[in-house]
Amino acid sequence: MWIDTHCHWDAPEFAADRDAVLARAQAAGVHTVVVPTVQARDWASTQAMCRAAGQPYALGIHPLFTPKASDGDLIALDAVLTEAEGDPLLVAVGEIGLDFFVPGLDAECQQHFYLAQLKLAKRHSLPVILHVRRSADPLLGGLRRVGLRTGGIAHAFNGSAQQAQAFVALGFALGFGGALTFERALNLRRLAASLPAESLVLETDAPDIPPQWLYRTAAARAAGQGSGRNEPAELPRIAHTLAELRGWSLAETAAFTSANARRVLPKLASLPPCA
């Protein structure tokens, strides 16, 4: 059984065939799909959607959505985390973090929401799902400053080996997905091949970060050659790349990465096998 530790199944791109997307994933052996949120207005609908499907979710404010967020959203997040405390499907605070790749974002504003959400995760004893884009060192600094001990997942990790080891030392696993399937992703492949087995989890970030076989350039999309939309059903094929890099069988890859996901997101261990 595979676990997709990061899939935006609640995204508008899946509105037309959301149930079919999940059915395809389950047919491919991906029975657990962790759904992180990105903004306050999505929390209630994503909760309802995931509860109806028996799928785990996380609640948070994504760094790209911080320009429209307010301190009132942080108060609301504290309240909804309290309300959902007994919900076995609430597995983390996320997606939260910092993004220093996209131009025009206010770094101070991002830091404000990041640190505040770390404190909420600490208060509610929840792991976090981190957005890491050119921001590994300040993310690590925030974790140490707040003293978060619940760990979590550094999503779509593509930093240095030293940064990877620092996250692992703080109780995190590192998320690998479609980017791993590109032969030119040399640094990422070196990391996936060399990091301790217990540090690796799999993800799709669907509908984003498509694997090599789905990727379309902007020009190709404009020419009507498909959207390049990613899906959780692609996870086993993505996992094949990791298996080749590690010299594992697919069964070993599923076992290692699923066990790692359950360790860093402990509530996953209480879900039934077909949830």
* Class in CATH terms, 2-270: alpha beta
pLDDT of residue 273: 60
What's the pLDDT tens digit per position in 139-169?
Answer: 999 999 999 999 999 999 999 999 999 999 9
Q: Which residues pair with 75 in a beta bridge?
A: none
**Strand pairing class (152-155; 128-133):** parallel
Count Cβ atoms below 10 Å from residue 161 Cβ, excluding itself. Answer: 12
Q: What pLDDT digit, counting tens, does each position of 89-112 carry?
A: 999 999 999 999 999 999 999 999
Kindly provide the b/e burial profile for residues 230-240, where b requires at least 16 CB atoms within 10 angstroms of the residue's own CB. bbbbbbbbbbe
User: Is pLDDT at 186 greater than 50 in this prediction?
Assistant: yes
CA distance 104 to 95: 20
Binding residues for a divalent metal cation: 6, 8, 95, 131, 155, 205
Element of type H or E holding 57: strand 57-59
Place of tokens 């550094």: 154
Residues 238/240/245/250 CA torsion (nearest 10 deg): 130
The binding site consists of 6, 8, 95, 131, 155, 205
Q: 275 pLDDT exceeds 70?
A: no
pTM of the model as a whole: 0.96
Question: What integer is the mean pLDDT of 48-60?
Answer: 98
Domain ranges of the chain: 2-270
Closest listed residue to residue 157, CA positions, set 121, 115, 190, 117:
190
Which residue, among 147, 151, 126, has the nearest Cα to 58 in the 3D structure?
A: 126
